[in-house]
Amino acid sequence: MTSRPRALVTGASRGIGKAIAQALAPTHDLLLGGRDQAALSALATELGNALPWPLDLADPDALTAATAEIDRLDLLVHSAGVAELGAVADTPAKVWRETYEINVVAVAELTRVLLPALRRARGTVVLINSGAGLRANPGWGAYAASKFALRALGDALRAEEEPHGVRVTSVHPGRTATDMQRGIRSAEGGDFRPEAYLTPESVASAVLMAATASQDAHLTEIVIRPAAR
């Protein structure tokens, strides 16, 4: 790998995370985070300046070990996430805990251990949030609560780290044509029509804008909605 800016993208094996990795590849060296080793290896081969970084983000010991040799990081993109829909009356504690573990706790812990590397590079942290992090709808309680918490995490982190030169951007996409969205629409009993949604590439473009902003600009929050078509 060359000495270009270095980025770590979680959830890089598919969907928005994969599109982000592809958008960054021309300008960044990449660590591709995820649990699907085969998919990560295939993407790394496709992109060239990329290495698979397989990891269970819910395993704090593995996370600490995997980040031990990262001494400088220009960009950290948190794209990994889970969603399980259901009314509050039907959602057991197990679902709440698992949702928060991946969508909030793992994000906070990975960021924490990488902050020295991010500070050294005066880097950027991008949190892929959701429209559900701005408004909660029926049946979305656990997921929306985790995304509201992720927004709060981003706001606190931004205020704490801006004096160290670290920028923090929360990206709130509307419904995006991914496998996750296909599953959500199935759970809601609706049709999955990709043409009505954002493309993962559109979300990736917003991330690229935040990652490559000039030093006098700090994109704190980006909200993206599908255009009427």
Q: In this structure, are residues 85 and 35 in contact, taking their beta carbons and an 8 Å threshold?
A: no
Most confident of 1-15, 49-63, 138-152, 192-206: 138-152
CATH number of the domain at 55, please.
Answer: 3.40.50.720
pLDDT (mean) for 47-60 = 93
Q: What is the rounded distance in angstroms from the CA atom of residue 74 to the CA atom of residue 219?
A: 15
Q: Provide the residue range defining the domain that includes 72.
A: 6-224
**Structural domain contains residue 1:** no
**Structural domain contains residue 229:** no
Task: Tell me how many domains the chain contains.
Answer: 1
**Structural domain contains residue 219:** yes
Tens digits of residue pLDDT in 20-29: 999 999 999 9
Q: The pTM is what?
A: 0.92
Q: What is the rounded distance in angstroms from the CA atom of residue 206 to the CA atom of residue 173?
A: 9
Give 31's strand partners: 8, 51
**Structural domain contains residue 205:** yes
Which of 53, 140, 143, 197 is an active site residue?
143
Whether residue 143 lies in the annotated active site = yes
Residue 44 has pLDDT above 50, yes or no: yes
Tens digits of residue pLDDT in 182-222: 666 666 667 767 677 889 999 999 999 999 999 999 999 99
Please state, rounded to an integer, the average pLDDT across all residues of the chain: 92
